[in-house]
Structure 1
Amino acid sequence: MKLNYALTFVLALGTLVANAQDKNKLRDNVAHQTMMTVSGHQSQQEAIANFAKSYELDENSTFQEYRTTTDKLGNTHSRYQQYFNGIKVQFGVMIVHNKQGSVSLINGELYNPKTINTVPSLSKEVGLQRAIEHTNANAYLWEDASQAALMGYSKPVGELVIFPDVNKGIVHLAYMYDVYSTSPISRNEVYVDAHSGDILFKNPIIKHADRLISNNEISAKAKELENTLNSALVEGTADTRYSGTRPIETTPEGSEFILLDTTRGDGIVTYNCEGFNAYQDLHFSDNDNAWTAAEYDNDEKDNGALDAHWGAEVTYDFWQDIFNRNSFDDEGAQIISYVHYDDADEPLFLDTGYDNAFWNGSVMTYGDGNTFDILTAADVCGHEIGHAVCTFTADLAYQNQSGGMNEGYSDIWGACVEHFGRTGSIDGAIDPNVWLIGEDLNSPPLRSMSDPNSRNDPDTYLGDNWVSTGDEGTCVPDATTNDYCGVHTNSGVLNHWFYILTEGAADTNNAPTPDTYDVAGIGMVKSAEIAYLAERDYLTPNATYFDARNATIAVASSIYCANSPEVISVTNAWYAVNVGEEFAEAADDVSLMSITNNTEVGCDAGTFSPQIVVSNGGTNMLGDVDISFSVNGAATTTVTETVNLGTCESTTLTLDIGSLTRGANVLNVDVTTTNDGRPENNTGTVLVVVNDAAEVDVVNTFDTVEESLISYNDGVISSLWERGVAQGTLLSDAVAGGSDVYGTNLDGNHPDGTIAYLVSQCYDLSSVENAILKFDMAFDLEENWDIMYMQYTTDGGSTWQTLGTASDANWYNNDRLPDGTDCFNCIGSQWTGEGEDAHSGGGLNATMHEYSYSLSAFDNDGSAETSMVFRFVFQSDAAVNEEGVIVDNFVVEADQIVLATTNNEFKGLSIYPNPTNTIVNISGQDLKDAKVSVIDLSGRVISNNASVFNGNVLQVNMEQLASGSYFLVIENENYRSVKQVIRK
């Protein structure tokens, strides 16, 4: 029996499912995350603002982007951290999903601390003492300077944060301390209420797993311990304890070889603790690089160190080869292992052996075992480093259901690493032992992914052996009494879901009301990808199992299609573990997969013929598709296309839009079919900007309609920029001389949370020299929060670059970058500051000053750009608005020169991208009947008429050509131009 889950979708500007106070609290049997589908053509800032409104957040809540990933379809997923009055909100994470440059979905968990007192009553020193008293250890790592230095650790000073108690729905002002004790061993993030001194939560960095497997939260790369840039690397052979004879990378040191690998990321190194309860940089060594069983299968279990070294290498290779992830942090972090570690301060021969392995936040640590054998098996290594990956992706909180998934994900990665390490791939048949956790160390194993009940773990949500959590019960997470509400036990639900999805299964579960299921396995290649992308791109710290269901279905739908066998299996595998309903097929469904994202700032209107991709998401054959489209909200045109697509098949269709006017144009497209079962996937929108040419040395005063520029807000046609007389208190018409200007709201303050562009016309700099850009500007901006800067494009708007730096004379006045406190929008080069502040050139910021920038890098003395466009970028944060910016008298001044050119050159010609390794685009005037020949440097004609006219550009495919320089001869009856292009 399935609980009546309700996926929390908030339609843009639609009805909310819960008030803000409720959203601070985990609610029974529903997703904790909010998901908002973005309809229409909203900018990213507008979509973020609407998502924040669903939590009733005010202007004191701000968001800082801290990580962006891109999937193989080109969609981006950007994570934002929530701040309140500049204080980090723990767990406050929002993920913005962009498809084709437009926001399609936002999900996350935010918290509303608007009633909280953000001035602490306790000092950091008092708070630390409370954390130490609560830890109640005999010794702390900061008391041993040498050991602390090895770990890159120092005594905690405390970070002021806002901490939400998700079980009670209450937020607290708190100090967070990273407390590392060495007797007994523990490392926790301890949260202390900054007013009462109460201990709110302990988040374990070292996570013990029933005395066998411990896990991590990584906050920094391990410090580099070896300078090996010039060392010679050698491949050795190792007779490992658990995985047979394996190749390992080592490094010669004198006449010996040591377990140091510098071929992977920042390196992999394995050290020997010799049974002490301290870390020491003592290498294992061998004289001939053949690490044999005769030498290392000894009473000290030294061959276990070979497993640790090889296991770290194959774990790195798994993440690199399968997911192109460079170590656990995706930045090449060094993986350091310490073997023969003991927590007892006594001689090894008197000790029973340390029955644990853990990641301590910096390094891997392996004990020799007592109940278990030495804890260096491949799945242990993959499991532990999997927790590091979690920290740098979803960062699942170690409590309740999210903690169970934290453990479950590490079991998944342990199994994948074991299978990958022993077979060289994650394809093909899987040894049944792969689905056992710790089977090499002990019999019976610690856990079973194929049969969790056999190890007293649940294989079904709310089924046999399920430990009640704060998500659906009243459990209060605690380390000693309930294992943070059953994180190790409840991991069985996620790891069993992964097993069923991979291998397939048919059975009846043990839910309160049992369900019979039949799931077709999709193999580990697909199941691992779906699980990883959900963890990386969708899950937030306090996600529940139902959030994981939503995330994996979203991933599978994006990779395959909504009615694909993969989506069916993902959905039904969750049904098998009692999370959500069975897959419900749609007999008829058409999905709009993409629209040509042609946001180019072209330099002539031309015709626009975008392409759309439609897919059949239904079980029936898709025959006729009705396509409706409109530009700028004008009359809708509807055409019918016969596509004849089978399930999950797709096709590309071309729309005949016709000519577009100069300016920012919004194209809306809707597709449908008879009895369409999923209308939510039928619409799409793109922004298309069409420009024209400007003349050098002509000052644009903005006084007439003919001198108007193109302006639009981020992703939408509406514009903050206005042309007219400035009437603000500071930015008034008096400072502008009474003439028309462009401004960000001419008679009041600018809005919050807005990115707005003011785009120049196109400038041909190929026949001028000593070019310089000039304009007048005055501004009144909240310093370090609201900013203005300038960008340029030379490829028709495909890419934009920042123009200049703060070190350039008479240019930007600020070089700040975000630091977690303020300047969240800063890019390192910008204008910002109050209008009343003194200007470096005299007067105030609100007084008109001329700004200038040399364009010599782009004129005939530089790259001789034929179509260069500039744009002002204004960006405001979520709170405190002021009068903004006004600009006037825009001009590109230059000296004309005589070039050896013919009189019949194409006008406004632009070649991009250049260099290229695939398609090169050619835009300009009068190109429709032109042909292009490709000629190499020797003058040999490689291809005649090599171009295809697509929309308003010529396209030449360079993919089959060798790397090097070529000439493109572009000609028709009236014009002829020659352009050089580089094939990468």
Structure 2
Amino acid sequence: MNRKNALAAAVAAALALGSVAVATTQSTAAAPQSTTAAGTSAARPGAGFRAMTADARGEAIRTAGRNAAATARALGLGPDERLVTKDVLIDADGTRHVRYDRTYRGLFVIGGDLVVHLAKNGRITGSDLAHQGPIRIAGTTPKLTAADASAAAVRHAKHVRHAKAGGKDSTLVVYAVGKVPVLAYRSTVTGAGENGPASRQAVIVDASSGAPLDQYELHQNITGTGNGVTVGQVSIETAQSGSGYSLTDAAHGGTVVYDSYNSPQSNPRQNARPFSKATNSWGNGTNSSRESAAVDASYGLAKTWDYYKNTFNRSGIRNDGRGAPAYVHVDNSLLNAFYDDNCFCMYFGDGSSQNGNTPVTALDVAGHEMSHGVTAATANLTYSGESGGLNEATSDIFGSMVEFYANNSSDPGDYYIGEKLNMTGGYMRRMDNPSADGRSLSCWNSNAGSVDVHLSSGIGNHFFYLAAEGTGAKTIGGRSHNGTTCNNDTFAGIGKDKAAAVWYRALSAYMTSTTNYAGARTATLQAAADLYGTNSQERYLISKAWAAVSVGTALPDPGPGTPTPSPTTPPGGNVLTNGSFEQGTSGWTQSQNIITNSGQQAARDGSWYAWMMGYGSTASESLSQSNIGVPSTGTPKLTFWLKTTTQESGSTAYDTLKVNVNGTTLATYSNADASSGYVQKTVDLSAYKGKTVKLEFAGTEDAYLPTVFLVDGIAIG
């Protein structure tokens, strides 16, 4: 959620480039900084990230750490919270983007990550928070023991069979993915699953009741079919020691490729040792040499490193110049490859009879897996729900971009994922037409957060393809592509390099662990404004691509100058859009991520609803829709369903929800109107008959106990 926070007065700490000053922070949806002339295609000066040496990056992180306490106070965080610096990115013009994790009384906060944006002079200009406001929980003493939590996690685990976990596998955390943080345990459960006989799953359970809060796979991987490729005759970086050579790539952070010698997936490094030999010629292009798969992995990881370095000035997965070790020939008949952030390493299986025992070391696979590490080091998108789909889409996007970058005639760039992996269908996923596999989602719908993340990734993949290439049939990399849309729109793309620049900036500077598809739209529109201008065709076409996959609506075409003005003539009937919220944020403007399908509350109908307030601290929120045509006949009225729950008592209105039309309050509801379920409300709109209006739901909350207002089923008629 991104809330505009009024920051405290001056922060006394100093940054390397000047003392910290504060301003009202703004979410990524707020007005962007000054831009180039409308419609220009060049990036704005200062919009790209600087290259930094390891020493410069280390000093920037240390500086941010010294200012963490002052920044926490400026953001209005609580006295028991601490900010831990994760990374710092600096634009060419000196603008800084500081990414922090949060702790509460020493406990890691899941969903507590945030990004703070600072001008060159140290002035805070904005912030993006996965969880808005301070963390407040009743206490940090759990009712359950770690062993109890592990047992509960085993019962709730859905992605593994014969699940098991011990007391040492559960860690006490604060779970702040919803609006109301809770004390929880994060448990690691192992068992047989899609990732093999030693699959691992994270299960989050309430520390008081053991109720499940979330769960997701810990191996972020390409699954289901098996992958392997021979990249042909290529040059790879090696190291010489005495009279021998090893697959150690000093030019790319000291990356070492190991032969796992078929160590079990539960312990892939058990028998592992580095590839080494007397000569500097590796592999023969077939499985008869164990070196062939290692050549593929070494080449793919080097090309991925080079792509990020030469395109975004990023030095390795964590932007610290370190290479991640890679292990090939993991397990037996393992149809899988995965990145594991716990060990900062990558694993590649040998495939199985399902794909002709082709090793899972394709070029786009290497780019995919290494990009999971980049995501973990930046937005750290939670590997479940819509954020999990975005996580997978990010790896598909950059895996494809690495393939284009490598320009290898044996594997030319295209938007097919795993097309060199000897699969029955010829590919794993298609970005131009995700649903062609019969399973993946091409268009957003209200169940997108409930399907497997490899399937919901299709929404992000489809968006990226359309943003890059536009609509229509074409041949790319020798393969047929067809950019169809969910709304029958047609438009041109901005080019893959510009689209990738927008996605990387959004991922690095604006997305957080809980970002969903609506939030990704907001982040990419801000990134496009940063890079190309608020009124640029690039930003407009980004919005068109999102609308084409059913996420939000397209912005007005800026044309050669200012955007097209909104209509002023009121229509004859109601045009309120998406009153049930089943199309997500489409049609609505929200100050925070109010529109949700979170399972922590329930919609009246369908899966989506508006969740307003419930922080237990001083706060305000708004949800609005403009250009609504009130019917010109009869007795027009606004109806909606409202559920109010509160920890307040008595009849005093401490927390309120107001219904405003064209700035005039027509109805007010408060904590005193608490209800056990949804209650239909009616507001007379006779005074606005035949007019175009702006409808707003405005919530306010005082500094103490929380009140939650749930809104659904809005209609005007």
TM-score grouping bracket, smaller chain normalisation: 0.5 to 0.7
* Residue 96 (structure 1) shift: 1.9
- Specify which of 309, 317, 320 is matched with residue 306 of structure 2: 317
Aligned with 1:335: secondary structure?
coil
The percent identity for this pair of structures is 30
Distance 1:72 1:573, change over 3 A: farther
Tell me, in whole angstroms, the C-alpha distance in 1 between the residues paired with 2:113 and 2:125: 17
Larger radius of gyration: 1
Counterpart AA for 2:127: I
Give the TM-score, by structure 1 length. Answer: 0.45
- Specify which of 427, 433, 458 is matched with residue 492 of structure 1: 458
The residue aligned with 1:355 is 335
Distance 1:8 1:322, change over 3 A: closer
Tell me, in whole angstroms, the C-alpha distance in 2 between the residues paired with 1:365 and 1:542: 27
**Deviation readout 1:810-857 (Å, 9 max, x if unpaired):** xxxxxxxxxxxxxxxxxxxxxxxxxxxxxxxxxxxxxxxxxxxxxxxx
Tell me, in whole angstroms, the C-alpha distance in 2 between the residues paired with 1:290 and 1:431: 21
Q: Is the 8 A contact 2:85 2:99 kept in 1?
A: yes
The residue aligned with 1:176 is 186
Tell me, in whole angstroms, the C-alpha distance in 2 between the residues paired with 1:331 and 1:194: 36
- Specify which of 258, 268, 271 is matched with residue 271 of structure 1: 258
Q: Is the 8 A contact 2:431 2:461 kept in 1?
A: yes
The residue aligned with 2:542 is 570
- What does 1:602-617 correspond to in 2, within 5 Å? none
Distance 1:283 1:60, change over 3 A: closer
Which runs of no fewer than 5 residues in structure 2 stay unpaired?
8-26, 34-66, 473-481, 566-702, 704-717
Q: Is the 8 A contact 2:206 2:213 kept in 1?
A: yes
Q: Is the 8 A contact 1:187 1:206 kept in 2?
A: yes
Q: Does 1:329 align with 2:318?
A: yes
Aligned with 2:547: secondary structure?
helix
The residue aligned with 2:683 is none
Tell me, in whole angstroms, the C-alpha distance in 2 between the residues paired with 1:326 and 1:433: 23
Q: Does 1:517 align with 2:490?
A: yes
Q: Is the 8 A contact 1:563 1:619 kept in 2?
A: no
The residue aligned with 2:138 is 116
The residue aligned with 2:529 is 557
Distance 1:418 1:140, change over 3 A: farther
**Deviation readout 1:575-603 (Å, 9 max, x if unpaired):** 222222223145797xxxxxxxxxxxxxx
Q: Is the 8 A contact 1:433 1:439 kept in 2?
A: no
Distance 1:287 1:37, change over 3 A: same
Q: Is the 8 A contact 1:301 1:374 kept in 2?
A: no
The residue aligned with 1:415 is 400
The residue aligned with 2:235 is 247
The residue aligned with 1:437 is 417
* Residue 335 (structure 1) shift: 2.0
Counterpart AA for 1:445: Y
Distance 1:586 1:282, change over 3 A: closer
Aligned with 2:238: secondary structure?
strand
Tell me, in whole angstroms, the C-alpha distance in 2 between the residues paired with 1:584 and 1:201: 38
* Residue 368 (structure 1) shift: 1.3
Tell me, in whole angstroms, the C-alpha distance in 2 between the residues paired with 1:113 and 1:163: 10
Counterpart AA for 1:364: M
Counterpart AA for 2:126: L
Distance 1:510 1:107, change over 3 A: same
- Specify which of 458, 465, 468 is matched with residue 447 of structure 2: 468
The residue aligned with 1:930 is none
Aligned with 2:374: secondary structure?
helix
- What does 1:866-881 correspond to in 2, within 5 Å? none
Tell me, in whole angstroms, the C-alpha distance in 1 between the residues paired with 2:537 and 2:288: 52
**Deviation readout 1:485-529 (Å, 9 max, x if unpaired):** 331111111112211222222599664xx341313x222322211
Q: Is the 8 A contact 2:404 2:413 kept in 1?
A: no
The residue aligned with 2:11 is none
Which protein has greater RCO, CA pairs closer than 8 Å, 6+ apart?
Answer: 2
Q: Is the 8 A contact 2:442 2:459 kept in 1?
A: yes
Q: Is the 8 A contact 2:244 2:276 kept in 1?
A: yes
Q: Does 1:338 align with 2:318?
A: no
- What does 1:919-934 correspond to in 2, within 5 Å? none
The residue aligned with 2:114 is 94
Q: Does 1:290 align with 2:290?
A: no
The residue aligned with 1:228 is none
Distance 1:306 1:59, change over 3 A: closer
Aligned with 2:279: secondary structure?
coil
The residue aligned with 2:127 is 106
* Residue 106 (structure 1) shift: 2.1
Counterpart AA for 1:468: N
Give the TM-score, by structure 2 length. Answer: 0.60
- What does 1:687-702 correspond to in 2, within 5 Å? none
* Residue 406 (structure 1) shift: 0.4
The residue aligned with 2:516 is 544
**Deviation readout 1:65-119 (Å, 9 max, x if unpaired):** 4432112332111223344445332112232222343332222221565353322
Distance 1:562 1:275, change over 3 A: same
Aligned with 1:537: secondary structure?
helix
Tell me, in whole angstroms, the C-alpha distance in 1 between the residues paired with 2:29 and 2:103: 20
The residue aligned with 2:245 is 257
Distance 1:157 1:451, change over 3 A: closer
The residue aligned with 1:394 is 379
* Residue 467 (structure 1) shift: 7.5
- What does 1:497-896 correspond to in 2, within 5 Å? 497-506=463-472, 511=486, 514-519=487-492, 521-586=493-558
Q: CA RMSD for the aligned pairs?
A: 3.8
Distance 1:45 1:259, change over 3 A: closer
Q: Is the 8 A contact 1:508 1:516 kept in 2?
A: no
Q: Is the 8 A contact 1:192 1:198 kept in 2?
A: yes
**Deviation readout 1:381-410 (Å, 9 max, x if unpaired):** 110111111000001111111111101000
Tell me, in whole angstroms, the C-alpha distance in 2 between the residues paired with 1:270 and 1:171: 42
Higher normalized helix content (fraction of residues) = 2
Tell me, in whole angstroms, the C-alpha distance in 2 between the residues paired with 1:47 and 1:292: 53
Tell me, in whole angstroms, the C-alpha distance in 2 between the residues paired with 1:113 and 1:431: 49
Distance 1:338 1:243, change over 3 A: same
* Residue 170 (structure 1) shift: 4.7
The residue aligned with 1:185 is 198
* Residue 180 (structure 1) shift: 5.8
Tell me, in whole angstroms, the C-alpha distance in 2 between the residues paired with 1:110 and 1:70: 24
- Specify which of 154, 160, 175 is matched with residue 172 of structure 2: 160
Q: Is the 8 A contact 1:9 1:35 kept in 2?
A: no
Which runs of no fewer than 5 residues in structure 1 stay unpaired?
1-6, 14-32, 143-154, 215-239, 344-352, 425-429, 476-484, 590-616, 621-878, 880-984
Q: Is the 8 A contact 1:356 1:375 kept in 2?
A: yes
Counterpart AA for 1:405: L
Aligned with 2:508: secondary structure?
helix
Aligned with 1:249: secondary structure?
coil
* Residue 421 (structure 1) shift: 1.9
Tell me, in whole angstroms, the C-alpha distance in 2 between the residues paired with 1:567 and 1:405: 20
The residue aligned with 1:71 is 91
Aligned with 1:188: secondary structure?
strand
The residue aligned with 1:17 is none
* Residue 199 (structure 1) shift: 4.0
**Deviation readout 1:736-790 (Å, 9 max, x if unpaired):** xxxxxxxxxxxxxxxxxxxxxxxxxxxxxxxxxxxxxxxxxxxxxxxxxxxxxxx
Q: Is the 8 A contact 2:89 2:98 kept in 1?
A: yes
Q: Is the 8 A contact 2:68 2:84 kept in 1?
A: no
Aligned with 2:511: secondary structure?
coil
Counterpart AA for 1:160: L
Distance 1:320 1:290, change over 3 A: same
